[in-house]
Amino acid sequence: MPRRGPGWRQHGCSRRAVRFLEPVLLLLLHHRPAHGYTLLEQLDSFGLGGSDPTVVYRALREMEERGWVASVWDREQTQGPPRRVYHLTSLGDEVLRFWVQDLEETRRMVDQFLQQYYQHIIEEHPVQEEP
Amino acid sequence: MPRRGPGWRQHGCSRRAVRFLEPVLLLLLHHRPAHGYTLLEQLDSFGLGGSDPTVVYRALREMEERGWVASVWDREQTQGPPRRVYHLTSLGDEVLRFWVQDLEETRRMVDQFLQQYYQHIIEEHPVQEEP
DNA sequence: CACACTATGTGCAATTTGTCAATAGAAAAC
DNA sequence: GTTTTCTATTGACAAATTGCACATAGTGTG
């Protein structure tokens, strides 16, 4: 079921509930500085595989505008054009802590949602009494 | 920290990572039919307290357009204007199952995110060896 | 030199979201 | 009995976000 493309919403399917990109980028940069192209590849391991490169690069630039990350150009260690290597700022570190709080709440909300759903299912199909 | 209002994004804060409204509405309607105004109140218990009524009503109308829910007007049992009482359709039931799948994945993703974050923290502050 | 891979960026259209304003019936307060 | 409050829903527009098509350019390989 595609979660993208024009008009997909008409077809009764639904897109992901999480907006995860920015937090994951911050987390990756919290581990170590990196440039967009490698970050793009690392997104896979957080369920964000197949993200559009444009979207990732834009997110990084916008986070730099907000002062969450900063970048330096690297023309030496590259297998192509210059790399823009991002690192986390102290503001970005704060923002990441904020996201962690948010995601702790999120986890509780999701847990509650799922728990309620399965509760409904159990109530719909009560266990048959043995005669 | 407000998560709404014009320009809030400039101020370094961040909005919630989850888009939760539609799934929660479907879940509530999975429990029993209801009208928008009461659904609005029930959102509180899923961390969506303070949602704008307009947004909730719109979500319901749009889900009806997509055939996920259906509504009947009730002029009898109301303490005000007629109520539009929504119930889940069988398509809506499928969509809810889809959301449940999505949120199971979401939970795993959030878990992994938080685990990695705390791992970084531990590595930054290694336990001091006793002499 | 043609081609694949690395690396980043621009611009626009479509979609989503937030907010303000409007309407209107019923119940409570005065 | 009329003003106010609570109940209940909707329309229209502005702002923000997202997806996507396209543009650019350096490096390594056959």
The complex scores an ipTM of 0.88
- Please state the pTM of the whole predicted model: 0.89
Task: Report the percentage of chain B scoring pLDDT > 90.
Answer: 76
B35's CB contacts (< 8 A; 6+ apart) are B74, B83, B84, B85, B86
B27: tokens are 């879940």
| Cβ distance of B113 and A104 shorter than 8 Å | no
| Cβ distance of B19 and A24 shorter than 8 Å | no
A67: tokens are 């002062």
Among A13, A17, A30, select the one facing B103 at the smallest CB separation: A17
* CA→C1' distance for B93 and D28 (Å): 54
pLDDT tens digits for B56-101? 999 999 999 999 999 999 999 999 999 999 999 999 999 999 999 9
Domain definitions of chain B by residue range: 16-124
Integer Rg of chain B from CA: 20
Residue B3 has pLDDT above 70, yes or no: no
Among B17, B67, B98, select the one facing A103 at the smallest CB separation: B17
Mean pLDDT by 10 residues, chain A (131 residues): 61 70 97 97 92 96 96 95 97 94 93 96 81 58
CATH 3.40.50.10490 fits A16-124, yes or no: no
Return the exposure string of B76-92: e unless at least 16 CB atoms fall within 10 Å of the residue's CB, then b: eeeeeeebbbbebbeeb
Chain B residue closest to A92 (CA)?
B12
Nucleotides of C under 7 A from a protein CB: 5-11, 14-21, 23-27
Strand order in the sheet with A34-35: A34-35, A83-88, A69-74
Query: What is the pLDDT, as a whole number, of residue B126?
Result: 77
Q: Quick check: B81 CB within 7 A of strand C?
A: yes
Query: What is the pLDDT, as a whole number, of residue A34?
Result: 98
* DSSP conformational letter for B81: S
B-contacting residues of A 64-83, CB under 8 Å? 66-68
Give the distance from CA B51 to its chain's centroid: 10
pLDDT, mean over chain B: 89
Query: What is the pLDDT, as a whole number, of residue B16?
Result: 77
A30 touches chain B (CB under 8 A): yes
* DSSP conformational letter for A87: E
